[in-house]
Structures are given as structure tokens and as C-alpha cells.
Amino acid sequence: MLPRKSFAHLPTIIEHLPRLTKTLGGPDLYIKRDDQTGLATGGNKTRKLEYLIGQALAEGSDLVLTTGAAQSNHCRQTAAAAARCGLGCTLVLVEPRPEIPTANLFLDNLLGADLIWTEKSNRDEILHQAYQKAVQKGRKPFLIPYGGSNPVGAYAYFAAVEEMLGQLSDDLPDWIVFASSSGGTQAGLVAGAQYHQLDIKILGISVDETEEVLTTCVSSLASEISHQYGNKVDISPEKILVSDKYLGDGYGVINENDREAIRLFAELEGILLDPVYTGRAGAGLIDLIRTGVFKKNEKILFWHTGGITTLFANKYLGEI
């Protein structure tokens, strides 16, 4: 049994989206609200951090370190988890540094995290330097990978599959759709579905990586999870479903399709998506319905991974 520190609000609810379903002309749309996991506005990383922080505490650590973009949801939730558990927190954030901290960055400061700024090319090097400096100062640091995407973090979504089964029993979706980036959430879902022998297509809408890169990453991590916690099978890249059709001009660059998805979810269902992850996944979902990839008689579960605080970042205010 993996060490775990429980602070997520689980199980997250599953809701029907009747107005969005009607507007798009089917299929039947549902949403799993991992934007409501409860830790500093919540998100999918909170599930992962229950196990990552659990491991840190089990090892006697007094400091956690991780890295991400200036508006990283993962970093914000890591800072919140550290504060909740009485741990120090150091975040290595990628430039450019905004003049006024807003959204996730504002919350990083409020939650008491120490921030180190660097270029993306030096990110991992600076993170390991910060780790070594903490050791030299007599601290007991614990390193959390980018996105919390290692077998321990991704196990949270292996376990989340069982949670979903308890909620939907025999009325399972044909597809699960969500934003995919560092691969941990998708790897856990894939390994969990394989373990429970579910006939569900698990589609990650990439927000930054190519299909080739992400399928390779997810298959490797899903196989690790299966060998450590499941039924010890290899999961090949060919079994991983990823779409990189919605990358647009790149990570964090909002486009009109993203804007439309954010507006439709808000105006029709009162649900907020973010400009980087769930907005892009929502745009992919809508396009796949309109182009007939998802059939009218199918049931789709959109797994909301959170990130709504990014709506209030300076770079997006007035753009949505």
C-alpha cells in the first residue's frame, strides 16, 4: 500500500451536461469534476499529491521541490499541499516573470512558496541545484517531478478508475476525454482501465506535445504502473489515444476554438474551463462531435482536470 496523505475532496462528482449535449446535437455528455478536489481551488494534481506528499512524509522530508511554468497549476497545488502538511516548498518557475503576480503565481506567493526563476532550457538543472543546496543546508528535501507524473503520482488516476466505476456501475462511457500534457493522468487512466478490463476509449487532447512524444511517454508510464500496481502487462504506444490536432500556435497561446469552448461550457452549464488545458481539451471535444468522430448514440465523459485560476492571469484577461 502506498503512503497517502488524504486532503482531496473525493469522490469528485459526475454531472450530466444536458444543455451542451442539446446544443451540440449529441452524443450524451457528462463531466467528472476534478476541478473540485478542494486544494487551493483544486485540480487533477491534488489526487497525485496525496501520494507524492504521502511518500515525502513517510521519508521524513521537510521540504518539497518541483517545477513548472509561471502559471503552473501543478506548482500551485504543490505549494498548497506543502502548506497543508507543514512542509517547506520551493518552486522553479520558467521565465518570463510577470511584473504583477496574478492567478496561480499570486497564489504561489500567498501559500508561502519560495520561487526560483530560470529559462526553460535550464529548468531541470536549476531544480536539481536547488535540491542539492537544500541538502547542504541540512534540510531533507523531496523532489516532485514535473506535473507529478511518475508512477507514484500517476497511481492516483489508476485508483480514480475504480472511483468512477463505483459512481457509474454498468452505465459506463464509450469515451473519456481530457487534457493531456505530462502524461501522468492519462497513464493512470489507461492502466486502470486495462486492469479492470474496461471497453472505454481514453483520449488525451494534447496541449503541448506531439502525438508521437505523448503516446510514447504515456505507454511507458502506464506500463510501469501496471507492473508495479496492476496485472503486470506492457501497454504499447499503439494502444494510447492522443490527438495533437488542437495545438494551434502552442502551449498557452489561446485561439478562437479554445475561446468558444470556454464560453459554451460557461454559458450553457455554468462550468469554467481554463485557457491552457481544459479549454483546449473542450475545443477538441466539440470539434470531434461536429466532425462525427463521436457518434450521437455514444456517451462521453469529459474529465475536468482543473486550472480555472489561470482565467485570471494577466495575459488572458480581456482575451476570452
Domain ranges of the chain: 14-43+150-312, 57-143
Annotated catalytic residue: which of 6, 61, 72, 121?
A: 72
Q: What is the model's pLDDT at position 176?
A: 98
Contact call for residues 175 and 300 (beta carbons, < 8 A): yes
Q: Is the peptide bond before 27 cis (omega within 30 degrees of 0)?
A: yes
What CATH class has 57-143? Answer: alpha beta
String of DSSP letters for 37-102? S-STT--THHHHHHHHHHHHHHTT-SEEEEEEETT-HHHHHHHHHHHHHT-EEEEEEESPPPSS--
Mean pLDDT of 197-201: 97
pTM, full prediction:
0.96
**Confidence check: pLDDT of 1 > 90:** no
φ and ψ of 273, to 5 deg? -105, 165
Domain 14-43+150-312 fold is: Rossmann fold (3.40.50)
DSSP letter for 261, please: H
How far apart are alpha carbons 108 and 112 in whole angstroms? 7
Has residue 223 got a pLDDT over 90?
Answer: yes
Count of CA atoms in the C-beta half-sphere (13 A) of 146: 15
Nearest to 25 by CA among 293, 284, 300, 289: 289
Using one digit for the tens of pLDDT, what is the confidence trace for 61-120? 999 999 999 999 999 999 999 999 999 999 999 999 999 999 999 999 999 999 999 999
What pLDDT is recorded for position 318? 81
Read off the amino acid at residue 88.
G
Which triple of cell numbers denotes residue 219? 505507454
> Mean pLDDT over residues 242-271, rounded?
96
Which is it for strands 299-304 and 175-180: parallel, antiparallel or unpaired? parallel
Residue 319 has pLDDT above 90, yes or no: no
Question: Can you tell me the mean pLDDT for 295-310?
Answer: 97
The neighbour count for residue 11, using CB atoms within 10 Å, is 14
The span from the CA of 276 to the CA of 254, in Å, is 7
Instruction: Show the CA angle centred on residue 166, arms to residues 161 and 171, nearest 5°.
Output: 90
Burial of 85 (0-12, 13-18, 19+ CB in 10 A): middle
14-43+150-312 and 57-143 agree in CATH topology: yes
> Three cell numbers at 183?
502524461
pLDDT for position 317: 84
Torsion of CA 258, 264, 270, 275, to 10 degrees: 10
Active site residue 206: no
Cell for 120? 526553460
Looking at residue 169, its pLDDT comes to: 80
Confidence band for 315, pLDDT divided at 50, 70 and 90: confident
N residues, the chain: 320
